[in-house]
Amino acid sequence: MALAARLVVSLAFLLGLLLGVTPSAARAQSDSAPQAISVPAPEPLPELEGFSARAAAAPRSSPTHDAARRGFITNAAATATAYAAGLAAEAELVRLEGRAADTAARIAAAEGRSAILEKAIESRRADVVALAIERYTGATDPLTAGAEQLAHPEAHIAQTDEAYADELVFHAGEALGADLARLRTRRLLLGREIAAMERTERSIDRSIEIELEALVAARAEAAAAREALERHRKVYLDSGWSATVVGTGLDLVVVDAYMQAAAAAPCSIRWETLAGIGYIETRHGTWAGSSIGRDGRTTKRIIGIALDGNNNTMEILDSEGGELDGDPVYDRAVGPMQFIPTTWAIYRIDADQSGFADPHDLADAAAAAANYLCASGGDNAAAIFAYNHSFEYVADVQEHASRYEAAGV
């Protein structure tokens, strides 16, 4: 019976080894829920360059500009959402790959335990056979048993393996029988555990495939949204200068010229007063089919009538060889603010730093008009009267200035 006692002790140690598990810390880390991915803030509308901050902040509108604004906002949001989806897919892939590696390690460990368990079962079966032979032959050493019994021990018990094992267990005693039964049960449970982990492994593999597809789709969506975003950005920036500042009826480039001229004036001048003068003089540079281009210059030169003493005008002979007005005989008022060449020579300024003062450039002309008003008393009726000796003119300028001021820009 010494053999049975030794087997019981060794079996207790073996079962403790077979029941070991992989460290739970790694498993808890791989199975933990992924961190939430927040959607980044969509890219804001781009700022228009070359305009004063006040003018650029003014609400503006045109069909092209409005469509570009909507397109930019929509695609900025789509880009941010797709980017977040890509980050989420990448994070989930990292988590799933961690789970896959952990599951593979657990399967390998379980298969290792299974191999040890199989060896233990075979060893127990051998011990049971040896103990059964000892019981049948009375020999403590199987080598001293009868030749026939040693050669054919199964003839004394059963013909099938399972029946043979059961008979041997019965004759070997309850302790060894219980040990062998526990090993078999453990082998069955371990097999089920391995099968479950393999199913989990296949499920993780499929989840990885799904997340890879999601990542590819998110990146494609982000690329498409970014491409559309850049198209709308270009249109938005290209159309901003000609968009109408809400409430004024004026293009942004026009409002900006007046605003910058007022801000740089040597005295306090409202941009609305300059705009009132610009409206009365040339409808802000749009007289006779002209318009204000992106660079602030009139697309056509606006030249007034000859100052020859007719049509209620003063006679002013040519002062600049026709360089500004094209008339070598008499001076003519020029540009969007209708400066007489002699007056322009006094108050001219290269406000937009283009390299020369140009009366056909609204930025330069508006700045010169602000200088003239300041030299004539400031932002008041007297200064406006000095600009054009007509009370009706003064009233019209002030009326339109009030209208622009009501826009609240």
Q: Given a cut of 90, is residue 1 above it in pLDDT? A: no
DSSP codes of every residue in 213-224: HHHHHHHHHHHH
Strand partners, 61: 244
Lowest-confidence segment of 30-39, 56-65, 131-140, 392-401 by average pLDDT = 30-39
Instruction: Write the CB contacts of 74 (distance below 8 Å, at least 6 apart in sequence).
Output: none
Q: pLDDT by residue (tens digit) across 6-29?
A: 333 333 333 333 333 333 333 333
Q: Report, as an integer, the average pLDDT of 145-171.
A: 50
Q: Given a cut of 80, is residue 151 above it in pLDDT? A: no
Q: pLDDT by residue (tens digit) across 310-359?
A: 988 889 999 999 999 999 999 999 999 999 999 999 999 999 999 999 99
**In this predicted structure, what is the pLDDT of residue 23?**
32
What's the distance, Cα to Cα, between the start and end of the chain in Å?
107
Q: pLDDT by residue (tens digit) across 265-297?
A: 999 999 999 999 999 999 999 998 999 999 999
Characterize 294-314 residue by residue with b for buried, 16 or more Cβ atoms within 10 angstroms of its Cβ, and e for exposed.
eebbbeeebbbebbbeeeeee
Q: Given a cut of 90, is residue 256 above it in pLDDT? A: yes
**In this predicted structure, what is the pLDDT of residue 127?**
77
**In this predicted structure, what is the pLDDT of residue 330?**
96
Q: Within a 10 A sphere around the Cβ of 353, how many other Cβ atoms?
A: 9
**In this predicted structure, what is the pLDDT of residue 150?**
46
- The structure tokens 């209208």 sit at 403
**In this predicted structure, what is the pLDDT of residue 36?**
57
**In this predicted structure, what is the pLDDT of residue 162?**
53
**In this predicted structure, what is the pLDDT of residue 203?**
95
Q: Within a 10 A sphere around the Cβ of 81, how many other Cβ atoms?
A: 17
- Which has the closest alpha carbon to 253: 298, 310, 290? 298
Residue type, 344: W
Q: What does the alpha-carbon distance between residue 402 and residue 400 come to, in Å, rounded to a whole number? A: 5
Characterize 9-46 residue by residue with b for buried, 16 or more Cβ atoms within 10 angstroms of its Cβ, and e for exposed.
eebeebeeebeeeeeeeebeebeeeeeebeeeebbebe
Strand partners, 245: 60, 250
CB neighbour class for 356 (10 Å; exposed up to 12, middle 13-18, buried from 19): exposed
CB neighbour class for 235 (10 Å; exposed up to 12, middle 13-18, buried from 19): middle
**In this predicted structure, what is the pLDDT of residue 182?**
87
Token representation of residue 97:
């790959």
Instruction: Write the CB contacts of 305 (distance below 8 Å, at least 6 apart in sequence).
Output: 311, 313, 332
Q: What does the alpha-carbon distance between residue 361 and residue 250 come to, in Å, rounded to a whole number? A: 16
Q: What does the alpha-carbon distance between residue 139 and residue 153 come to, in Å, rounded to a whole number? A: 14
Q: What does the alpha-carbon distance between residue 87 and residue 345 come to, in Å, rounded to a whole number? A: 63
Instruction: Write the CB contacts of 368 (distance below 8 Å, at least 6 apart in sequence).
Output: 337, 339, 344, 347, 348, 349, 351, 357, 359
Contact yes or no for 84/38 (Cβ under 8 A): yes
Q: Given a cut of 60, is residue 394 above it in pLDDT? A: yes
- The structure tokens 């961690």 sit at 98
Helix, strand or coil for residue 402?
Answer: helix
Which of the pair, 363 or 121, is modelled with greater confidence?
A: 363
Q: Report, as an integer, the average pLDDT of 87-98.
A: 93
Residue 314, sorted as left (phi over 0), alpha (psi -120 to 50) or beta, turns out to be beta
Q: Given a cut of 70, is residue 134 above it in pLDDT? A: no
Q: Where are the domains of the chain?
A: 2-240, 248-406
Q: pLDDT by residue (tens digit) across 369-385?
A: 999 999 999 999 999 99
Question: How big is the CA angle at 20 (ends 14 and 26), to the nearest 5 degrees?
Answer: 160
